[in-house]
Structure 1
């Protein structure tokens, strides 16, 4: 990571500047961030920026091959398959752990998903960081390929709205006002005019869906889908007027099937210099040490069901072993010097959008999670500082 800007940033840092950052993040939109914001972005060198962008693009390229599509054909559970699948996903996000290899930092693939991430919030966060920390040069950015803020918004607009009017496009979620990511929904509404709507507030007439807007029933043409099926299945109390499996006259952005096709299910297939060994549990080789792997369920999210200490006995006891994977453990590098003395660890999410009529996806932004524990997540960072949500900046 860039040592010069890091040293300058840390020397200039004050608690008041961090307070200004959190005020900006929490008071700009109608909803605050319901997660901790890290005190600092991370500053990438040109070498690491090139390496992680290459890693992300290689993995996306691997998901576009005929061989991968054959592998992914078995990924969607039959009960969850949604009609009218798009030709390609509209979003792909790829999570890399930052690890040490000798004296160098390297990205290692942790997970990937053809599902939207915090595209609106990351632009808000970047703006707040620029205001709170003027020591960061303006030519340091989180985007890639020379995309400025306006071009970024236009790419999101082309992907999510396309040619539809904003009132005919909704952001669909389960009780959006209660989600931890609600600040992103608010930022998206401000940027694009797309309102967050709960799945229970949708009305179905024939093949058409409607929602209430300013006292009117408005037809839905496009759905910016933020509903995760795992969460939906955990909520039998919800009363929906439609099923995702219905043949509906709407365009899904992105289509729910891609959430499964490009996912943890993909990990055993993907083999690049940036990936880790991964196997379906029913195909786990007999010569491998289970204790060197993490056991993950395919169809859950946010870390639910992850087992950091699998054994052969646990693997043998799985009810549906092909719905679990084992992925080689890695160690996150402690590489971010802090004013508190301890170094923080990080993982970077590389974020692609893919408008319907574009031939290729575009890498647009990134998201960072920082930790001072051995793993990411709240449980490993209780009462810690210089941890939480952030962003990676590089010199353009």
Structure 2
């Protein structure tokens, strides 16, 4: 999006470099099924400042004393987990990049999560882009906000995820961790923090405590860096009998507690009223359906990765919804194709990633970005295109010559 950097990158891009980029990205890690874009995004100063402001507006709502009351109905009764803490340890806010009436690039909120994203991998991704495409010949690029550097970022991750415990007492947990699409993030995180990567069935409960075995030795699990999404395990609840049921009291610390996945989600968006958030309403609160439905999108509250979203909404779609309390109607964000590729422009989305230590303020640290040519931004919807997929936003300081 910054003309000088974009022209430099595109002029020096080759297919061989991209192949080398993918090889370096996956070196020493399991195969990755996600498509990564041929390019990073170069975030201009004005857009960066707007993104920061937009995130701060959302955090104001989350920090309101009545936030838990506002979002109490967001947690499905069948998935409520006891011993919830005061705030999530991780936040992720997705913004589509649009243009206002004056032609200015502006961020518009698409979704939000009180759940970890690719906090480890994005660091690795940025470093790989910079090295393979020799970007530091042009400027001092960073994926970080607020002046933090790589060393400070890793220290913050350790502080929040490890806390006072030894790495072997902390595990990153998912339903089938080594085989998840984003497993590369798990392995990068484990490399930096030394924690274990465990599937749900690797963990067992004894007398209200959790354990796993390593080389025949039983090890007590004190903290779970939780990557388990209940939607994925809802049809496999027999696994809880083998392992443990998160909904039952257990002596373990959650980083972050599973209830925050629901509290900070699409459910939260109707409570946000500012210039960065498109008009969003719970479907069951709408007295009169808008006549211009082509300008809206219909989203189920309890889904992830874009599943179930209806882009081209019709009156019939709305009438067929049996549980309107579990849906939102949101004004469409018109993504502006802003990233120049060799054969045209592609659309972009930027995810702000925050870490929130106990007893401190949430800190905007790093970002995730995605490029798209289709109606949906997610990488699964762009697998057959080029110059699309997962990427990272880079911000630059000029090099003195």
TM-score, with normalisation over the residues of structure 1?
A: 0.95
Given that 1:294 and 1:308 are in contact with CA atoms closer than 8 Å, whether structure 2 keeps it comes out as yes
Given that 2:61 and 2:67 are in contact with CA atoms closer than 8 Å, whether structure 1 keeps it comes out as yes
Match of 1:154 in 2: 155
2:105 pairs with 1:105: yes
Q: Which whole-Å CA distance do the structure 1 matches of 2:380 and 2:226 have between them? A: 29
Given that 2:305 and 2:378 are in contact with CA atoms closer than 8 Å, whether structure 1 keeps it comes out as no
Q: Does the residue aligned with 1:365 lie in a helix, a strand or coil?
A: strand
Q: Which whole-Å CA distance do the structure 1 matches of 2:47 and 2:106 have between them? A: 8
Q: Residue 32 of structure 1: CA displacement?
A: 3.1
Q: Residue 383 of structure 1: CA displacement?
A: 2.9
Match of 2:124 in 1: 124
Match of 1:166 in 2: 167
Match of 1:187 in 2: 188
2:290 pairs with 1:288: yes
2:304 pairs with 1:301: yes
Match of 2:354 in 1: 352
Match of 2:35 in 1: 36
Match of 2:77 in 1: 78
Match of 1:249 in 2: 251
Q: How many residues align?
A: 393
Q: Residue 266 of structure 1: CA displacement?
A: 0.3
Q: Residue 90 of structure 1: CA displacement?
A: 0.4
Q: Residue 374 of structure 1: CA displacement?
A: 3.4
Given that 1:25 and 1:32 are in contact with CA atoms closer than 8 Å, whether structure 2 keeps it comes out as no
Q: Residue 381 of structure 1: CA displacement?
A: 2.6
Q: Does the residue aligned with 1:344 lie in a helix, a strand or coil?
A: strand
Q: Residue 258 of structure 1: CA displacement?
A: 0.6
Measured on the aligned residues, the alpha-carbon RMSD in Å equals 1.5
Q: Residue 39 of structure 1: CA displacement?
A: 0.7
Match of 1:95 in 2: 94
Q: Residue 76 of structure 1: CA displacement?
A: 1.1
Match of 2:24 in 1: 24
Q: Does the residue aligned with 1:70 lie in a helix, a strand or coil?
A: helix
Q: What runs of 5+ residues in structure 1 fail to find an aligned partner?
A: none
Q: How does 1:315-354 map to 2 (within 5 A)?
A: 315-339=318-342, 341-354=343-356
Q: Which whole-Å CA distance do the structure 2 matches of 1:71 and 1:226 have between them? A: 25
Q: CA 1:263–1:42 in structure 2 vs 1: closer, same or farther (change >3 Å)?
A: same
Q: Does the residue aligned with 2:345 lie in a helix, a strand or coil?
A: coil
Match of 1:274 in 2: 276
Q: Which whole-Å CA distance do the structure 2 matches of 1:288 and 1:365 have between them? A: 38
TM-score, with normalisation over the residues of structure 2?
A: 0.94
Given that 1:278 and 1:327 are in contact with CA atoms closer than 8 Å, whether structure 2 keeps it comes out as yes
Q: CA 1:379–1:361 in structure 2 vs 1: closer, same or farther (change >3 Å)?
A: closer
Q: CA 1:170–1:380 in structure 2 vs 1: closer, same or farther (change >3 Å)?
A: closer
Match of 1:374 in 2: 375
Q: Which whole-Å CA distance do the structure 2 matches of 1:240 and 1:334 have between them? A: 48
Q: Residue 138 of structure 1: CA displacement?
A: 5.1
Q: Which whole-Å CA distance do the structure 2 matches of 1:351 and 1:286 have between them? A: 36
